[in-house]
């Protein structure tokens, strides 16, 4: 028979049980369960099997309890208090690396490895710097495009008060139906999209090469979280005028495409407001198009009609999902501009 366990317990069985049920950290919870069971009279081997650890592990916990009580047991982590190797980069160097990542300076981890080596002479392996970037809360992202002709300062002013001033000059009220609109061309010219696959095994994706195009005409209302759409065979006034005559908006905000600025379009009874040039990022329709392309591209469609049906399917799902729709089109600066209008 083994020796009887001798511990000068500072807590009762009920107290350890209560601490166990209140604890949320998995590691600390396991240790509290083991101590509770030891306190209730169970043997070391039985407790080890109960909590799912090696026989020696609860012996270590009991020894730590003898040294410093419950505090000593709960403060220790895996490694018995030993610290890992010091970071290869100083805190200042890590901040510089994060700043470079924030500017989109690296396409791959290999680019970051070369940059760190050239700048500070610190050599990393691929897994090493990958883990470092992960600890610094960096991850791969697809950049949002911006035209080289875009006026960034003017865009900032438009977000701050430019939209509100344009609405005010057009005498738009808060109750008017105002849509932000745009068009997306879709066709049967196949595009490849990233997919999950097995390492070392190539993925073959069939694509179509067919000149067949159509246009999705989209209108969004971020303030009321609404979405509507229609279809056009071409991007011209003759196709757009019947659509907007049926929708009957009070005002439309869109880009300066020739079909939007045309004389015939101006005869339709609604106010036209135009976004800044080279600034599609000011229109929430573009976010919907980006979301939609991720859903529909990379597939083979029997005809253009089948692709339109797929688009229709995803748009109906998005329209019914108000949380996702609000995430895409409910931009706060647009809501703030409409909130300032007179009712």
Domain ranges of the chain: 13-75, 91-135, 155-339
| Sign of the alpha-carbon torsion through 226, 341, 241, 296 | negative
CATH code of the region 155-339: 3.30.420.10
4 pLDDT tier (thresholds 50, 70, 90): low
Reported as a single tens digit per residue, the pLDDT across 293-339 is 999 998 899 999 999 999 999 999 999 999 999 999 999 999 999 99
Q: How far apart are CA 40 and CA 45, in angstroms?
A: 14
pLDDT value at position 343? 79
64 phi and psi angles, rounded to 5 deg: -65, -35
Q: How far apart are CA 232 and CA 230, in angstroms?
A: 7
Q: Is the pLDDT of residue 2 over 60?
A: no
223 pLDDT tier (thresholds 50, 70, 90): confident
pLDDT mean across residues, the chain: 91
Q: Which residue has the tokens 């610094």?
A: 136
Q: How far apart are CA 27 and CA 20, in angstroms?
A: 11
Q: Is the pLDDT of residue 219 over 90?
A: yes
Instruction: Please tell me the pTM assigned to this model.
Output: 0.69
Reported as a single tens digit per residue, the pLDDT across 97-149 is 999 999 999 999 999 999 999 999 999 999 999 999 999 999 988 788 889 99
CB distance 222 to 330 below 8 Å? yes
pLDDT value at position 144? 82
């Amino acid at each position: 028979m083994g020796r009887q366990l001798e511990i000068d317990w500072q807590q009762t069985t009920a107290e350890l049980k209560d601490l166990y049920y209140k604890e949320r950290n998995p590691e600390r919870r396991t240790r509290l369960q083991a101590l509770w069971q030891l306190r209730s009279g169970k043997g070391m081997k039985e407790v080890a099997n109960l909590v799912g650890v090696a026989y020696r592990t609860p012996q270590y916990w009991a020894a730590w309890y003898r040294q410093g009580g419950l505090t000593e047991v709960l403060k220790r982590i895996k490694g018995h208090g030993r610290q890992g190797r010091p970071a290869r980069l100083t805190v200042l160097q890590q901040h510089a690396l994060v700043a470079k990542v924030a500017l989109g300076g690296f396409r791959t981890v290999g680019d970051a490895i070369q940059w760190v080596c050239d700048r500070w002479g610190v050599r990393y392996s691929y897994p090493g710097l990958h883990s470092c970037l992960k600890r610094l809360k960096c991850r791969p992202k697809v950049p949002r495009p911006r035209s080289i002709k875009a006026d960034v300062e003017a865009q900032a002013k438009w977000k701050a008060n430019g939209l509100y001033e344009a609405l005010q000059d057009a005498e738009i009220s808060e109750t008017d139906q105002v849509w932000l609109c745009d068009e997306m061309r879709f066709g049967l010219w196949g595009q490849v999209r990233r997919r999950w696959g097995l390492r070392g095994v190539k993925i073959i994706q069939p694509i179509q090469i067919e000149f067949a195009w159509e246009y999705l005409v989209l209108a969004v209302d971020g303030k009321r979280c609404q979405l509507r759409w229609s279809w056009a065979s071409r991007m011209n006034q003759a196709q757009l005028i019947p659509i907007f005559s049926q929708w009957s908006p009070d005002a439309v905000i869109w880009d300066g495409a020739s079909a939007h600025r045309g004389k015939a379009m101006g005869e339709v009874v609604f106010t036209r407001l135009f976004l800044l040039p080279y600034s599609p990022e000011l229109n929430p329709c573009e976010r919907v198009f980006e979301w939609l392309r991720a859903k529909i591209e990379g597939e083979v469609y029997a005809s253009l009609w089948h692709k339109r049906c797929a688009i229709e399917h995803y748009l109906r799902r998005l329209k019914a999902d108000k949380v996702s729709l609000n995430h895409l089109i409910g931009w706060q600066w647009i809501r703030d501009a409409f909130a300032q209008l007179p009712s």
